[in-house]
Structure 1
């Protein structure tokens, strides 16, 4: 029996990206919304040691709120979460800064529970080019080596904030399907972070996953976006790249203070203020659409998908079934071919060595 078959009539409900100001209230809302798993950001610009401190904070949450959440490391943990009435939390980075300039840390962060890593967050990194740079020379030499190592250990390549050439090269080079966990198509809304038809087609053809964002700067009509418009956009993407490659990556930033935007957008790379999304006149977090305020509102997306013509099976796939399959295929280390090595003969004197 497949992992998907362990769920009841309602398939898994999985969010491919959140960065909330974590609290018991939010974890309770996840349970009220029937959210089985969430990929959460545990690093934006943090170095390795700072990222470890964030894991320490999450370990404390798992202890304190263990009746609501658990640390997800494998796809099977989502079934465990459903069976025990909890939400599985999967770690990811929005920048490769936690591995610093050391490719050996790729395996280390995976062993600590990281399952996604963006190759860049808006700017040029040691690995690739961000979507805010004017020029995109593509993957760097280190980036190509890191992708190979990510493929080996089971750390998903995420190109949500990456520029076009870098994204296409990552899709082509990666031996395992990559993800764009939180973005929208550029044909629906022109934003630096949203992706072209070329990227969407290449992602679908390679078996990758695309998570649709509910962050207002990525939405047509921003905070006034309607659920019908959002779901019609998903339907167009299904025609373009196949429904089996689609999921939700809400990019929900619930209850975060506006000061957090400075860390997300600016980090340590500049002394100026850059709020992103094409304007310095947009400080703070925008208001969420009324139909998606927090984790209790996933049912509105589900109803919206059915209203624009998706079948029950395809709706369930978009709401989490596709992510479940992708997690199952992506998180475990790649099979290694073991070559037999001839061993020297044991010494004839009978002495054990």
Structure 2
């Protein structure tokens, strides 16, 4: 049984999970609905051919159209409408900019298709800049033009999986808030690469008006494959202490290779495919099992996090900010 006060707070809140690759299998939307999540953010593009992104966006658009309880989110007002109507909203997200290729007009194209958040890189170099797991050469000239176009069109710039220098240069030139959709605090758990972000990055994100989404992937929380809720919330505490309560959000990053979504054999197979593709490398991506923080092992029990935040002493208004209002503010500032 949930704490009734926490459950009521959770049910009344706008809850946004800012990173949802688990929805590569859209049937898992029912897990998010059970967990009281208002807005989900499926990964619709990344280090894959552009045709894959286009096909998946088309599939999701039809999936959303086919159900009365889902809607595509294109404006901040749509979020309020989804909550009022008891629907679950979809915000499309790129983890990497491969689909843009070398053509800035593709930013406009994918914006029209519903992509409202674009992550600069995915761990390695691309035409935009350097990822978190390689030597960081900074933002390219094309990358600068990309950030400017995102600002003009109304796409949120996301610096998760991105190197420190590239991140800071993107924030410096952006005229709109910049986010790290799913990144934890390096001062709490030091990843070998720059996958977790340092305090300078947290402060820069906050100064831009953006948010850092706390992530549940075990390799970014602690050295344990079964992190506790307390270990997860240490990252929340640190980001709040460094960046302020208005600049922390959620990007839990549930994905298809975690337990109990996948069995051990399936999890290892998917893990090995990411390694073989060069997307994951080193100790920051330990072998499965990948079991998410105790209490929120899947999206179905997200109210447990609200309970834990209350028990940790966070005020109800601040919990509402963490659960969704902070990221909703960024939606409003960038998309309007």
Alignment TM class, shorter chain as reference: 0.7 to 0.9
User: 1:132: how far off?
Assistant: 0.8
What residue is the counterpart of 1:348 in the other structure? Answer: none
**1-structure distance, mates of 2:124, 2:302:** 31
Q: 1:105 to 1:24 in 2, by over 3 A?
A: closer
CA deviation vs aligned residue, 1:114-144 (integer Å, no higher than 9, x gap): 01111110001111100111x2121001000
What residue is the counterpart of 2:78 in the other structure? Answer: 77
What residue is the counterpart of 2:204 in the other structure? Answer: 202
CA deviation vs aligned residue, 1:159-197 (integer Å, no higher than 9, x gap): 100111111111111111111000100011111210011
**1-structure distance, mates of 2:10, 2:132:** 40
Equivalent residues in 2 for 1:38-187, closer than 5 Å: 38-64=40-66, 66-133=67-134, 135-187=135-187
Q: Normalized per residue, which structure has more helix? A: 2
8 Å CA contact 2:188, 2:234 repeated in 1: no
CA deviation vs aligned residue, 1:5-61 (integer Å, no higher than 9, x gap): xx9982201111010155565222222211100111011222333211111111231
8 Å CA contact 1:228, 1:308 repeated in 2: no
User: 1:151: how far off?
Assistant: 0.5
**1-structure distance, mates of 2:218, 2:284:** 14
- In structure 1, list runs of 5 or more residues that go unmatched: 1-6, 333-353
Superposition RMSD on alpha carbons, in Å?
Answer: 2.2
2:17 pairs with 1:12: no
**2-structure distance, mates of 1:286, 1:119:** 25
**2-structure distance, mates of 1:35, 1:113:** 19
Q: 1:12 to 1:262 in 2, by over 3 A?
A: same
Highest CA radius of gyration, 1 or 2?
1
Query: Any idea what SS the aligned residue of 2:53 has?
Result: helix
Q: 1:104 to 1:265 in 2, by over 3 A?
A: farther
Q: Which one of the candidate residues 249, 257, 261 is aligned to 1:247?
A: 249
Aligned residue pairs: how many? Answer: 318
* TM-score (structure 2 length as normaliser): 0.88
